[in-house]
Structure 1
Amino acid sequence: MDAACEKRPIAISSNLHPEGFDELMPKTLATATVDRLLHHAHVSQTSGGSVRLTQALAGKGVTQLR
């Protein structure tokens, strides 16, 4: 992150809201991480169910090779 910061695009995907980062790490580190990630960021939020889960439940998921 540090080497790419302010030099090239970085894409990050998470199902955890940034407010929940302090559950993974100490609050001061979580605050610094979120601050760095969101500085100059374009945030896209999605909603709806999981396409992969829907396909798997319908029997259209990944099949094993034999």
Structure 2
Amino acid sequence: MKEKMPGPEQPGDEQRELFNEDELADPDKDMKKLLKIIKEADIRGRKEEKGKKKGKAA
């Protein structure tokens, strides 16, 4: 005789517990945040390169 494995009664129950719709991240918001970080890093990198070039020339 097979024992019934404990688990959610309905297939969607477990998913609802793990992912609350209010807590899900907004993909557009995440992309905007990533683009902002990338732009800041790019600007920082360019400033460092200019600083190195000025240091060599002086």
Shorter-normalised TM range:
under 0.3
TM-score w.r.t. structure 1 length?
0.24
Greater helix fraction, Structure 1 or Structure 2: 2
TM-score w.r.t. structure 2 length?
0.27
Answer 1 or 2: higher relative contact order, Cα 8 Å, separation at least 6.
Answer: 1
